[in-house]
Amino acid sequence: MKTQFIELANEGVSLTAYILDSSPELSNWEKRPAVLVIPGGAYKFCSDREAEPVAMAFCARGYNAFVLRYSIGEGKAAFPRPLDDAKQALSMIREKADEWNIEVDKIAAIGFSAGGHLCASLSAMSDIKPNASILCYPCILESMSSILAEPIPSVDAYVDANTPPTFIVSSREDGAVPIENSLRYADALEKAGVDFEMHIYAKGHHGFSLANSVVYSHMDALEYNKHLSGWFDICMTWLNKTFGIK
């Protein structure tokens, strides 16, 4: 694997690339799909547990992965500045597709919490879109602005037929981001005729990420985590089917 750290245009913003090695022994992977990972953190910070561990999980499934650390903090996170960061990152991945051995039409984006808002914005509000979108306990609604560094627009209002296929996972137990956010976005996707799949778990504290002992802060819930962590396998099945990967 090769790693590369790239500073983007806005101050403090970066893209970390994790590029898997090519090999004649890996004949099924002449070019690879890719995923842009967008951590959460209320637009106040970028959560480490939703960054590199998630990228490594995708790499283990044959994807090249990229972690975006976008504009955060009061003032710097004012919209649409974080969206500009995400657009620059996605554009760079597409522009360097040959160099990084990527299938240009198989680039997904995954976002968690506030990163889910940014991922949804990239999918619904941007002229530069991923080919598939994965939203994990996403902030979607303007009403979430009170817990974030800066006010946000309600992304569901921007969903249209050009929004890419979307996978949504969230939890009824989430005390930070109510599932109304996921439900409203799913409703917008349905009305726009966009393919989507949604899984809402009964339990799972906010920020469960991959829901394993490496990343999950609520160790008291480890028994249920064995069920909750299954979301990633389900997601990979959906994503590979969406991209036509067997």
Domains and CATH numbers, the chain: 2-242 (3.40.50.1820)
Are 135 and 98 in contact by the 8 Å Cβ rule? The answer is no
Residue 18, Ramachandran bin (φ over 0: left; ψ between -120 and 50: alpha; else beta): beta
pLDDT at position 220 is 65
Query: What tokens appear for 232 in the block?
Result: 């990633």
Which 3 state secondary structure label does DSSP give 12?
coil
Does residue 107 contact residue 35 with C-beta atoms inside 8 Å?
Answer: yes
For the chain, residues with pLDDT lower than 70 are 27, 217-222
- At 131 the pLDDT is 98
23, 167, 231 from 135: Cα distances, Å: 32, 6, 12
pLDDT for residue 222: 67
pLDDT of residue 219: 62
Residue 153's pLDDT is what?
A: 98
Q: Is the separation of the CB atoms in 181 and 140 below 8 Å? A: yes
Torsion, Cα 76 82 2 242, to 10 degrees, reads 160
User: Would you state the pLDDT for residue 26?
Assistant: 75
Q: Answer positive or negative: Cα dihedral of 51, 229, 164, 33.
A: positive
Give the dihedral sign, CA 201/202/203/204: positive
Do you know the residue count of the chain?
A: 246
